[in-house]
Structure 1
Amino acid sequence: MNPFPPRADAAPPLRLLVADDNPVVRAGLTALLSGRADTTVVAEATDGREAYEAALRHRPDVILLDVRMPEIDGISALPHLVRLAPVMMLTYSHETETVREALRLGAGGYLVHGEFTTEQLVRAVRDVREGRPHVTPGAAKALLEGIKSSASAHVDPQHPPILRESPTKTLSHMQPSMGQSSRSRYRLSTREAEIMDLIASGMTNQQIAATCFISEKTVKNHINRIFAKLQTTTRSQAAAKWLGVA
C-alpha cells in the first residue's frame, strides 16, 4: 500500500494524440510523454485521416501534429482537427509558408524538432491547451522572414525610389522610413510599433502573440493603446494610417 497517496486536488494528466508518420519519432514522443505524471498519450496516428478518426474516438486535450505525412498531410487535416481539440504542430518543417499557413488555419503553436527540451515541450502543450500560442525560434524566424519578403515584394528593383536630396546633406539628414516617421507621429513605443507592423502585414492576434512570444491578452492590450493613439477603431483603419494611405 502506498503510504503517500496522491493529493486529491492533483490535476489529471493532459491527454495527448501524437500524429507522425515516422515510427521512431512517434514511439519516442509516446514514451517521453507517457512516462510523466502530468501527460499521457491516448492515441497515435500515421496520417491526417487516422489523426481525425483517433481524435473523434479519444477526444484528446491536445493534438501533436506533423506536417509531412502520406495520404492526408498535417496542413490538409488541420482545419478539421482544430474543431476537435487544440493543435500543436510538432515537425521538422520550418519553411515560411508552411509556418504561416499552419497558424492561419488555427494551429495553437508551432514547434520545430531540435529546438526544445522535454520540459519546454510539456509547457508548450499546456500553453496551447489554455489558448496561449507557442512557437520555437525556427518557426518565429520563418514568420519574420515572410514579413520581410512581403515588404520587399512591394519595391520595384527596376525603378528604385529617387532621393531628391541636396548633395551637401549627409545620410543622417534624410527623412526616416515610413515606420519610423509613423512611430514618432503617433508616439508609439517600440513594442507597439512592432505589433502595428504585424497588424499591417495581415497577422491575427494569435499569430502576433506567437511571433512576439507574448500572450494574446497582452497583444489585445497593446492594440487598444495603439487604436487610442492612432484614433482608430478597426485594424484596417489603423493599418491605413500606419502605412500613410488614410
Structure 2
Amino acid sequence: MIRVLVADDEAMIRAGIRAVLASDPGIAVVAEAEDGRAAVELTHAHRPDVVLMDIRMPGLDGLAAAAELRDVAPVVMLTTFDEDEYVAKALADGASGFLLKAADPRELIIAVRAVADGAAYLSPRVAHRVIAGLRTGELTRPAAAKRKVEALTPRERDVLALVGRGLSNQAIARELHLAEGTVKAHLSSILRGLDVQNRVQAAITAYEAGMTG
C-alpha cells in the first residue's frame, strides 16, 4: 500500500485529490495538511511514501516545506502554476516531481506510483518547459555536467543514463541485471558524486551531459 500525505490549503482540492487516489486500491491517504508547517509535522509523524504538496499555502509555503522534507519523504509539487521560477525552485529544493492541478486525474495516480517506486515525475507540460530550457542553455552547464559524469564509475554512468530516461530503480535493476538494492547503492553514490539532492536533478545532469539522447 502506498501511503500519501496531501497538503493544500483548500478543503475542496484536498477532497478532490483524495477521491482520485481512492480510485486506486493500492493507494491510501494517511494524513492531510492545510499549510506547509503542518505538512512537515505530519510527514514526520506519519512517514508517508509520497507527499503531494501545494506551492502557495499560508505560513510556510510548499517550496519551503519541500526543502525541509527532502531527506524525509519524496515530495510531488501539485499546483495551478507552471511558471519557470516555480519549476526551477521546486527541483532545486529537492522535489521529486511537479504536477499541475489541471492535469488528467489519471496522471496524479501515475505520478504517485512513479515517485513511490523511486522514480521522478514531471507533468508532460512541465517536462517540455524543462527540456526547452536545457536546449536553450537557460538551466544547464553541459561542460560542467560532463566533467561530473566523467568522475563516476562506468557502472554508475550506466545507472545514471537510465535514471535520465526516467526508469525506476526496479526497471534499472532489470535492465542492468542487478539487485534493486545494488541500484539504490549506486544511486546514492551518484547523487554524492554529482552533488545533487535527488534523482530529478541527477536526470537533468544526465540530459546536460548528453546521456539520454
TM category, shorter? 0.5 to 0.7
TM-score by length of 2: 0.65
User: What percent identity do the matched residue pairs reach?
Assistant: 37
Larger radius of gyration: 1
Q: 8 Å contact 1:133–1:209 — kept in the other structure?
A: no
Q: 8 Å contact 2:24–2:109 — kept in the other structure?
A: no
Which residue among 100, 109, 124 is the counterpart of 1:137? Answer: 124
Q: Using CA pairs below 8 Å that are at least 6 residues apart, which structure has the higher relative contact order?
A: 2
Q: 1:202 to 1:75 in 2, by over 3 A?
A: farther
Amino acid at match of 1:81: L
Q: Does 1:121 align with 2:108?
A: yes
Amino acid at match of 2:118: G
Aligned position for 2:51: 63
Q: Report the alpha carbon displacement of residue 216 of structure 1 after superposing the two structures with TM.
A: 7.1
Amino acid at match of 1:142: R
Amino acid at match of 2:40: Y
Q: 8 Å contact 1:34–1:40 — kept in the other structure?
A: yes
Give the 5 Å matches for 1:1-246: 13-118=1-106, 120-147=107-134, 150-151=137-138, 199-200=142-143, 214-215=166-167
Q: What runs of 5+ residues in structure 1 fail to find an aligned partner?
A: 1-12, 154-196, 222-233, 236-240
TM-score by length of 1: 0.57
Output the aligned Cα RMSD. 3.7
Q: Report the alpha carbon displacement of residue 146 of structure 1 after superposing the two structures with TM.
A: 3.2
Q: What SS does the aligned partner of 1:16 have?
A: strand
Q: What runs of 5+ residues in structure 2 fail to find an aligned partner?
A: 150-159, 177-192, 195-208
Q: Distance in 1 between matches of 2:89 and 2:143?
A: 17
Which structure shows the higher helix fraction? 2
Q: 1:201 to 1:145 in 2, by over 3 A?
A: farther
Q: 1:150 to 1:70 in 2, by over 3 A?
A: farther
Amino acid at match of 1:19: A
